[in-house]
Amino acid sequence: MAKETEIGKVVDYFAQIEVAGIDLKKALKVGDRIRVRGHTTELEQVVGSIQIEHESVQKAKAGDKIGIKVAERCRGGDRVFKVSGD
């Protein structure tokens, strides 16, 4: 059974580049599996890249404001979870 831990919240979505702006409450790194959930959002994917202030990074810590490329539309207020195990 997969375990989910809430790690942040979507604060912005940039449709033209398919990037979600996320405020992190816990650390996240490239390769982690995340799930984004909201009123009309249900998305699960592996994090392919993370940017902070337009700079690519391998990991981000609690308190960072990050951008990640997402496969589907997200909305402000959507909750972001890290998925671990099976």
DSSP string, 15-43: TTTTEEEEEESS-EETT-EEEEE-SS-EE
pTM exceeding 0.85: yes
- The average confidence (pLDDT) of the chain is 96
Summarize the confidence of residues 20-34 as an average pLDDT.
98
Q: What is the pLDDT of residues 48-78, one digit of tens each?
A: 999 999 999 999 999 999 999 999 999 999 9
Residue 79: how many other CB atoms lie within 10 Å: 15
Residue 27 has pLDDT above 70, yes or no: yes
Residue 86 has pLDDT above 70, yes or no: no
What is the pLDDT at residue 1? Answer: 73
